[in-house]
Amino acid sequence: MFDFCDGSLYKEHPLFSMHKDALQIVIYYDDVEVVNPLGSYRGVHKLGNLCNQILLPFQKYNIIPITLTTRSKVRPLNCSLMVLCNLLA
């Protein structure tokens, strides 16, 4: 498995190339339908979720790193914001 941190853009970024222990914050956004999405009322109760995940520099703090397989699980995500999608439009 690979992620953004394995790419050249990350490795050549001034902050992360000079400071290997810089804090990384990963932000996710997803829409969720909280009721039955079938029928004429589809999309009425749709919620937008903004979640984040803080990746600590484990080399500095001697903690267990968050691996790529752990990142894909729901457990380490923190819900930052939840809003009705029709308010965003």
Q: What is the pLDDT of residue 34?
A: 83
Query: In terms of C-beta density within 10 A (0-12 exposed, 13-18 middle, 19 or more buried), how is residue 85 classed?
Result: middle
Q: What is the pLDDT of residue 22?
A: 80
Beta strands 46-55 and 24-33 are antiparallel
Q: What is the pLDDT of residue 78?
A: 83
> Distance between CA atoms of 10 and 13, rounded to whole angstroms?
5
Element (H, E) at 24: strand 24-33
pLDDT tens digits for the chain (89 residues)? 667 777 888 889 898 888 877 888 888 899 888 887 676 667 678 899 998 887 766 555 555 566 666 666 656 778 889 998 888 77
Q: What is the pLDDT of residue 71?
A: 61
Give which of 64, 74, 50, 58 is closest to 23, Cα–Cα: 58
